[in-house]
Amino acid sequence: MGKYFVVFRVALAERLVYRADFFLSTFLRFIPIVTTILLWRAIYDGANQTEIGGLQYKQMVSYYLLIMIVRAFGSMPKLASGIALAIREGELRKYILQPIDYLTYLLSLRFAHKLVYFVMSAIPYTIIFWMCSDYLPGWPSPTMFCMSILTLSMTFYIGFAINSLIGLLGFWFLEVASFIHAFMTLQYFLSGHMFPLSLLPKSIEKIVTWLPFAYETYYPTLILLQKVNVEEAMRIVAIQFVWGSIVAGLCLFTWKRGLHQYSAFGG
């Protein structure tokens, strides 16, 4: 594991070079929350209801605030395209020849990137959440806090595994951009990022909430929102482990099958 720790340290130093860009981009990412607050205020007033989709107005705003944290853990920009590019251009051969596991190497890089992101975005997050403190739930109990840490960790791992799996399709396809676009579209609608899945008709919600997308975003957000009890939170984390294991197994299978037909030439 020592070599992966070295990879982590190098990636950490590399990302800290762009700390000003991290800070500015993170701060600007919060601006749309203003329109979200106003939009849902108008929706609740127009519907003349105090609760929509099982969420009151303050809980709905809190949902969109907390989902930004969850998505920050699960999003893996350029991971899939980077893997496909390494396969297509032959860069993968240098990792195959070295005594490292390529996927574990990428996991070390992503962990370093996420750590830098949250360190650099701590101030913007603190400011925005302080300004919107009236909408947020109180501090969770120690047990629910542990559940929150576990669910966010699994969100990170599931996001990494799914994006890696899409990138590994580069062994068979020259370009995976269409797969990435299809995945991001499905993820945006079916993960609860665009709207809480409880707003869907019950028959559709039952199907959608069994897909891995819901356990990457929607259910972790409900845990942070404290809309589920401890037993339900444990069930959600357990299913996350199941989905994480399934996708990880598919990644390993795809990796091994892809290497059988991979070839790269040149110096």
With b for 16 or more beta-carbon neighbours within 10 A and e for fewer, the 60-91 pattern comes to bbbbbbbbbbbbbbbbbeebbbbbbbbbbeee
pLDDT per position as a tens digit, 218-230: 999 999 998 999 9
pLDDT digits (tens, 9 = 90+) for 178-202: 888 888 888 888 888 888 888 888 8
Residue 149 located in a structural domain: yes
Hey, what are 145's tokens?
């806090």
Q: Is residue 243 part of a domain?
A: yes
- Asked if the structure places residue 246 within a domain, the reply is yes
Residue 267 covered by a domain: no
Mean pLDDT along residues 141-164: 93
49 part of a folded domain:
yes
- Check pLDDT > 90 for residue 239: yes
Q: Which residues are 52's β-sheet partners?
A: 55
- Averaged pLDDT for residues 4-9: 70
Number of domains making up the chain: 1
Task: Assess if residue 266 is contained within a domain.
Answer: no
DSSP type of residue 96: H
Q: 94: domain range?
A: 2-261
Helix (H) or strand (E) holding 181: helix 177-190
Judge whether residue 133 has pLDDT over 60.
Answer: yes
Q: What is the spatial distance between Cα 41 and Cα 185, in angstroms, rounded to a whole number? A: 26
Percentage above 90 pLDDT, the chain: 29
Q: Is the pLDDT of residue 52 over 70?
A: yes
**Token reading at 104:** 């574990």
pLDDT tens digits for 208-219? 888 899 999 999
The Cα-based distances of 117 to 43, 81, 114, 215 in angstroms read: 33, 20, 5, 22
How far is the C-alpha of 226 from the C-alpha of 207, rounded, in Å? Answer: 23
Q: Does some domain include residue 113?
A: yes
- Which DSSP category does 170 fall into? G
Whether 163 maps to a domain, the answer reads yes
Residue 15 has pLDDT above 70, yes or no: no
